[in-house]
Amino acid sequence: MKAIVLTGRGRDGAAFRDHPKPDLRPGQVLVRMLAASVNRVDLYMRDSGAGITHSLPQVMGIDGVGEVAETGAGSHFAVGDRVILYPYEFCGTCRHCLAGEQPLCTTARILGEHRDGTFAEYIAVPETAVMALPREADIHEAAALGVAYMTAWRMVFGKAPAGPGMSVLVQGAGGGVSYAAAQLARRAGARVIVTTTGADKMAHFAAEGIEAVDYRAADVAKAVLALTGGDGVDLVIDNVGEKTWGASLRALTRGGHLVTCGATTGANPSADIARLFVRQLSIHGSTASNVEEFRRLLALFVAGKIRPRIDSVYPLDRTLEAFDRLEHPDRLGKVVIRIADPA
Ligand SMILES: [Zn+2]
């Protein structure tokens, strides 16, 4: 089969080439992939992969949708069923799995990180990591849910849930997770302020009813305090890292919460411990979401209440161009890979 295969590190480490079609093991379904999306973590896998145990060559890609092509004995699925993939293989028996926290599974394996991923014509995955997707759902939009929207869901509705009457600052809102977080927080009835830059993006958010601060033109913390009458926001969503960390802490109201899921610009900012305890701030780390949160996200999407924004769509053989698009400053929303037409 054709796939985007990682054979080494760096820009030349990934290529469109032939790769063995996976065999079906007990408890698995074989999925013919229709669409997937590219995520920052794909670039991390290509360029570094530090801290990840896996063996190359390995198929890239973490999320996606497809159609069941083959099932094992006693399967709940039938050939031809449209499905969306939950990106974790989890054991189902460790204390974290039993508590419903599959991303904390002690033996979790993430598609495209620890095992073959979704940028391929076929993937074999455990049935527990597959959910039915209605045929009328847009496959490009659905392909954007598995990493970006799922990660954003837990950040917005996790330990410090956003809701009506609350204010939320989302840093770097052009990115996939951040854009999704702004959409979800707004859907929950919160006041949303984003940081971004460039006339087109500023205009886009204004048209969406979202207040935007141009981080190149303004001191972000001061601007947010001015917008909130000197109070600050209840919740900050920040996956930018070192560059935005200080402003994120200063933009919080007393007792506010900062949620982080990434560190694109560096992972070791100043902790500002005095500010943390005097103002009783909380910092939460967040990764992915559990199966139940993913089910709720899917239900909201299927009901038409949330529509992922698609920046662009590339065919599988041009995935390397899609990686470049992910880093382009004009990008707004998700970059999707189209793999095959539905049957
Ligand atoms: Zn487990």
- CB contact at 8 A, 297 and 290: no
Show pLDDT as tens, one digit a residue, over the chain (343 residues).
999 999 999 999 999 999 999 999 999 999 999 999 999 999 999 999 888 889 999 999 999 999 999 998 899 999 999 999 999 999 999 999 999 999 999 999 999 999 999 999 999 999 999 999 999 999 999 999 999 999 999 999 999 999 999 999 999 998 899 999 999 999 999 999 999 999 999 999 999 889 999 999 999 999 999 999 999 999 999 999 899 999 999 999 999 999 999 888 888 888 889 999 999 999 999 999 999 999 999 999 999 999 999 999 999 999 999 999 999 988 999 999 999 999 8
213 CB-near residues (< 8 Å, 6+ apart): 193, 194, 195, 196, 220, 223, 224, 227
Alpha carbon of 267 to ligand 1 centroid (Å): 27
Residue 129 class from Cβ within 10 Å (0-12 exposed, 13-18 middle, 19+ buried)? buried
Beta bridge pairs of residue 31: 68, 123
Report the pLDDT value the prediction gives residue 326, as an integer from 0 to 100: 94
Alpha carbon of 116 to ligand 1 centroid (Å): 19
Alpha carbon of 118 to ligand 1 centroid (Å): 22
Report the pLDDT value the prediction gives residue 244, as an integer from 0 to 100: 94
Alpha carbon of 84 to ligand 1 centroid (Å): 21
Alpha carbon of 4 to ligand 1 centroid (Å): 28
Alpha carbon of 264 to ligand 1 centroid (Å): 28
What letter would DSSP give residue 136? T
Alpha carbon of 170 to ligand 1 centroid (Å): 31
**CA within 13 Å, CB half, 284:** 17
Alpha carbon of 332 to ligand 1 centroid (Å): 35
**DSSP assignment of 285-307, as one string?**
E--S--HHHHHHHHHHHHTTS--
Alpha carbon of 292 to ligand 1 centroid (Å): 15
User: Given strand 211-214, what is the order of strands in its sheet?
Assistant: 211-214, 191-196, 167-170, 233-238, 252-260, 282-285
SS3 state at 10: coil
Architecture of domain 2-147+289-338: Alpha-Beta Complex (3.90)
Alpha carbon of 101 to ligand 1 centroid (Å): 8
Alpha carbon of 93 to ligand 1 centroid (Å): 5
- CB contact at 8 A, 188 and 158: no
Domain boundaries, the chain: 2-147+289-338, 159-285
Alpha carbon of 92 to ligand 1 centroid (Å): 5
Alpha carbon of 83 to ligand 1 centroid (Å): 22
Alpha carbon of 127 to ligand 1 centroid (Å): 15
Neighbours of 41 (CB within 10 A): 18
Report the pLDDT value the prediction gives residue 163, as an integer from 0 to 100: 97
Alpha carbon of 34 to ligand 1 centroid (Å): 28
**DSSP assignment of 58-100, as one string?**
EE-----EEEEEEE-TT-S--TT-EEEE-SEE--S-SHHHHTT
| Residues 269-313: tens digit of each pLDDT | 888 899 999 999 999 999 999 999 999 999 999 999 999 999 999
- CB contact at 8 A, 120 and 33: yes
Measured CA to CA, the distance from residue 212 to residue 247 in angstroms comes to 15
**Which fold, 159-285?**
Rossmann fold (3.40.50)
Report the pLDDT value the prediction gives residue 162, as an integer from 0 to 100: 97
Terminal CA-CA length for the chain: 17
Alpha carbon of 262 to ligand 1 centroid (Å): 23
Report the pLDDT value the prediction gives residue 262, as an integer from 0 to 100: 85
